[in-house]
Amino acid sequence: MNRRSFFVGSAAFAAWPALGAVPASGAVDVAIVGAGAAGIAAARRLAAAGKRYALVEAFHRVGGRCITNTGLFGVPYDLGAHWIHAPKYNPLTQIANSIGVDVYPAPPDERLRIGRRYARRGEMEDFLAAQKRSNRAINEAGLRSTDVSCAEALPKDLGDLQATIEFVLGPFGCAKDLSDLSAFDFARSDEQGHDAFCRQGFGAMIEKLAEGLPVQLSTPVTQIDFSGRAGVQVQTAKGTLSAQAVIVTPSPGVLAAGKLKFKPALPARHRDAIAKLQLGSYDHIALELADNPLGLQSDDLVYEIATSDRTAALLANISGTSLCYIDVGGRFGRALAAEGETAMIDFAINWLVDLYGTSIKAAIKRRHATQWNRATWVLGAFASAAPGNQPARRVLMESLNNRIWFAGEAVNENWWGTVGGAWESGERAADAVIKRLEQG
pTM of the predicted protein model: 0.93
One digit per residue, the tens of pLDDT, for the chain of length 440 reads 333 333 333 333 333 333 434 556 679 999 999 999 999 999 999 999 999 999 999 999 999 999 999 999 999 999 989 999 989 889 898 888 789 999 999 999 999 999 999 999 999 999 999 999 999 999 999 999 999 999 999 999 999 999 999 999 999 999 999 999 999 999 998 766 689 999 999 999 999 999 999 999 999 999 999 998 889 999 998 999 999 999 999 999 999 999 999 999 999 999 999 999 999 999 999 999 999 999 999 999 999 999 999 999 999 999 999 999 999 999 999 999 999 999 999 999 999 999 999 999 999 999 999 999 999 999 999 999 999 999 999 999 999 999 999 999 999 999 999 999 999 999 999 999 999 999 87
Is residue 265 situated within a structural domain? yes
User: 392 in a domain, yes or no?
Assistant: yes
pLDDT at position 23: 59
Buried b / exposed e over 85-110, threshold 16 CB at 10 Å, is: bbbeebebbeebeeeebebeebeeeb
What total number of domains does the chain contain? 1
CA distances from 202 to 205, 273, 371, 402, 419 (A): 5, 29, 18, 33, 9
pLDDT given at position 24: 61
Instruction: In whole angstroms, give the CA distance from residue 349 to residue 367.
Output: 10
Euclidean distance between CA atoms 143 and 147, whole angstroms: 9
Q: What confidence score (pLDDT) does residue 204 get?
A: 97
How would DSSP label each residue in 70-116? STTTSS-EESS---B--TTT-HHHHHHGGGT--EEEPPS--EEEETT
Q: Is residue 259 part of a domain?
A: yes
Instruction: Give dist(CA 440, CA 229) in Å, integer.
Output: 14
Instruction: Identify the DSSP state of 178.
Output: G
Predicted local confidence at residue 17, as pLDDT: 35
Q: Give the span between the Cα atoms of 375 and 8, in whole angstroms.
A: 7
- Assign 3-state DSSP to the chain and report helix, strand, coil percentages, each to 5: 35, 20, 40
Asked whether residue 219 is assigned to any structural domain, the reply reads yes
Per-residue pLDDT, 115: 95
56 part of a folded domain: yes
Domain that holds residue 18: 10-74+90-103+199-278+377-439
**Inside any domain, residue 99:** yes
Number of other residues whose CB lies within 10 A of the CB of residue 141? 21
> Is residue 348 one of the residues assigned to a domain?
no
Do strands 68-69 and 239-248 pair parallel, antiparallel, or not at all (unpaired)? unpaired
Residue 358 lies in a domain: no
Q: DSSP of 272-331, one letter per residue?
A: HHHHHS-B--EEEEEEEETT-TT-PPTTEEEEE--SSS---EEEESGGGSSEEEEEEEHH
CATH number, residue 66: 3.50.50.60
Distance from the Cα of residue 221 to its chain's centroid: 22
What pLDDT score does 406 carry?
A: 98
